[in-house]
Amino acid sequence: MNALRLLAVLFALAIAAQAEEKVWSAVILASDPARGEKPKAPPAEIAPYAAKLTKVFGYEQFEILGSATKAMDNQTERWLVPSQNFWVGAFAKRAADGYLLKLEFFHDKRKIVETQAKLGSGTPLFIRGPVHARGQLIVVFEVRQ
């Protein structure tokens, strides 16, 4: 009987831990510093990934234009609004090691991309967006607690 109670408590804790997970999304402007200037330090939210972002995308400085954090429960569509002009519709389905996401990206009211991606805890997803007047837009998704 005690083993059954322990199992029930552990199961309830696992569900509560999953319920506390949220998906953070952001629109980042990647750019290079003006000639002769040093790159600005990356924002704290992406500082752990700055070197990898530089290596993959080729830019030396990053600025967050907007961000949003939403709880993602199974089979629920959420609208993430990382900035005034960029919207993301995310339909999340819980998987054993993260989420399977169906993503729809909008610029103002125009859908620009629809895709699917797997998002795991500790493995952020970076998506190259359109070129901006001052650099390159990058959209970031990360599971956070």
The pLDDT value recorded for residue 131 is 85
The pLDDT value recorded for residue 55 is 95
Q: Which three-class secondary structure state does DSSP give residue 144?
A: strand
Residue 52: which of 123, 130, 133 has the closest Cα? 123
Flag whether the pTM goes above 0.85.
no
The pLDDT value recorded for residue 144 is 81
Q: Which three-class secondary structure state does DSSP give residue 41?
A: coil
Distance separating alpha carbons of residues 48 and 106, to the nearest angstrom:
27
Distance separating alpha carbons of residues 16 and 66, to the nearest angstrom:
29
Q: What is the pLDDT along the chain (145 residues), one digit of tens a residue?
A: 433 332 233 333 333 344 567 888 888 999 999 899 999 999 999 999 999 999 999 999 999 988 888 776 665 666 666 667 777 777 778 777 788 888 888 888 888 888 898 888 888 999 888 887 889 989 888 888 7
Sequence-ordered list of residues with C-beta below 8 angstroms from that of 38, at least 6 positions apart, any chain: none
Distance separating alpha carbons of residues 75 and 93, to the nearest angstrom:
5
The pLDDT value recorded for residue 64 is 93
